[in-house]
Chains A and B, each alone.
Chain A
């Protein structure tokens, strides 16, 4: 069965960086794009960007350009999302999600990132 398993919660100080992993299993890793979506406490969904696991090509939301980097490791079927220059407003649950043709069909369990001094 398809699973997207994310790394554990992180606590960071302002200005630091964080790198979250999302390990996919149960399907051919390179066949589906993987997106990253975050959700601040009590807020809605915010799209961050997407990576094509096949070639590694990425597209980022304009808001995160220059601060977010998405990479993948095909040998372990894992995608990574790294965000730098963290600030308190980046406190959120970060999700990876597999993109089926028309929709996000499988989501990771979410990774809580807390940015606090």
Chain B
């Protein structure tokens, strides 16, 4: 089954844009997967943000601002979560996840702790 790898932490200034990565393990192609992104703040369950498979197959969670967007980086074999116009309330843990239909397994990345300076 695939493994999703995320950097453990990332920091950026308020108002800046960030690009959080979710790298898919060797032997799997990011173009074959639907990558979902979740935001988690301390003491709360994760909150769904969006999913991305392709420019024609993507979706935004209800109430999620458009400054959160998804894409793929084929060269890095990674899913990308872009957050523009960072706000203090964006400080949280961000997890990517995907369903591997062959093994009937849900996989999560290890999560990235985003700090807004």
Residues of A whose CB lies within 8 Å of any CB of B are 35, 37, 44-47, 50, 59, 61-62, 95, 97, 102-105, 107-110
Contact = CB atoms under 8 A, between A and B. Distances in A.
A45 to B, nearest CB: 4
A109 B45 contact: yes
Is chain B's binding surface mostly helix, strand, loop or mixed? strand
Measured as residues with beta carbon below 8 angstroms from the partner, the interface class of chain B is 20 to 34
Contact of A50 (B51, B97, B106, B111): B106
A35 B61 contact: no
Contacts of A95: 45-46
B36 A103 contact: yes
B46 A104 contact: yes
Interface in B53-73: 59, 61
A103 B51 contact: yes
Given A50-B106, A59-B104, A103-B36, A44 B95 contact: yes
**Can you list the 7 inter-chain pairs with the closest CB atoms, starting with the nearest?**
A107-B45, A47-B106, A59-B104, A44-B111, A45-B108, A44-B110, A103-B36
A103 B61 contact: yes
